[in-house]
Structure 1
Amino acid sequence: MSDYSLREELPTPERFCELREVAGMAPRTVVDARRGLSNSLYGVTMVHEPSGETVGMARVVGDGATVFHVCDMAVHPDHQRRGLGSRLMDAVADYLDEHASETAYVNLLADVDGFYEQWGFERTAPETKGMYRP
């Protein structure tokens, strides 16, 4: 694990787009990433120290008081299965513990079964349904 360092910073817009793509997430443009990343409440990256390459990321968006949305959680496939995602989520959880009041709405869209529950996240269905606008 000493080959990796956790940094409380956002990835570059270019690396953000690359990590989303290699992780199988919906693509984003660099222009949109540049604009969107600057509006983040919190960001954390995982850097592979021998190469200097950012290999993981996660961030929180929202209004900073009533709504916090965890998003863009990704680890490059070549660096998965090493606990890096857990370290990223630990940092996100620490941020949320410090900044989100007990009445704030904290959510995420889970794409990995059984991962986010260890940080206290629960499924909302059938009470609520996730929706999006294509």
Structure 2
Amino acid sequence: MALQYSVAVNNARLDAVESTIGTSAILKIRTGAPPANCAAADSGTVLSTVNLPSDWMAAASGATKSKSGTWEDTSADATGTAAHYRIYASDGTTCGEQGTVTATGGGGDLTVDNVSFAAGQAFTVTSYTKTAGNQ
């Protein structure tokens, strides 16, 4: 039998992501493929650095958890094509999560309004939702 959790347990697992990474988390959007895991060295060019809202994720409900507040950058750091992201603790170096970036509707772990970044360009994260499995 496959391992199964209740919705309440899955909500707690999802809420632990935000509490473990902490408040004042930092999102960095980068070019290229993501590293093998969060313990591996950063890769790609940093296109954008976003200081996330203090409460950057809404409380989990129904075994899903979504971004909270506005995630945007008024001036991208560099020019390139967004392909992956990392969310760091407030120190900007301790990776807590990484995933893929696509344009809205592209199916990435995090979606933005446009994956073609130009230095100085504004952009917005349009979607970021996590769903717990094993229900």
Fold equivalence (TM over 0.5): no
Larger helix percent: 1
TM-score per shorter chain, which class?
under 0.3
Q: Which has the higher strand share?
A: 2
The TM-score normalised by the length of structure 1 is 0.27
The answer to which structure, 1 or 2, has the higher relative contact order (CA under 8 A, 6+ apart) is 2
- After TM superposition, the score normalised by the length of structure 2 is 0.27
